[in-house]
Amino acid sequence: MDKSIEISEVFAAAGKSIWFAFKTTATTTAKHAILTVKRRNELARQRYQLSNLDDDRLRDLGISREMAEKEAARPVWDDPLSTRQLSAPFIQKSNRFVL
């Protein structure tokens, strides 16, 4: 019984595993990019709405006009729920993205 393996078989198997790893990484990166864009659009919408609230509604929320304007002026990439800014261990327990 000859158990030798052809070099072409080794390269074919390696190529498949490298392609699978690349494909998985690319898919995960694309999903993360889409979720990031959605989150930033939502933040921009919320901050815009906050800036347009009248003083009575802001008072109901316990927020001053200055606080609302300061929050509305923050850039969309300044996300208070970003896992990089929070150190709580429960934010990301799995490979899922938490937004």
The DSSP call for residue 76 is T
Residue 40 near residue 79, CB atoms below 8 Å:
yes
| Residues 33-59 as b or e (16 or more Cβ within 10 Å = b) | eeebeebbeebeeebeebeebeeeebe
Domain borders along the chain are: 10-72
Please tell me the pTM assigned to this model: 0.56
Q: Is the pLDDT of residue 92 over 70?
A: no
* Residue range 11-44, pLDDT digits in tens: 566 666 666 666 677 778 888 889 889 999 999 9
Of residues 48, 49, 38, 35, the one with CA closest to residue 98: 35
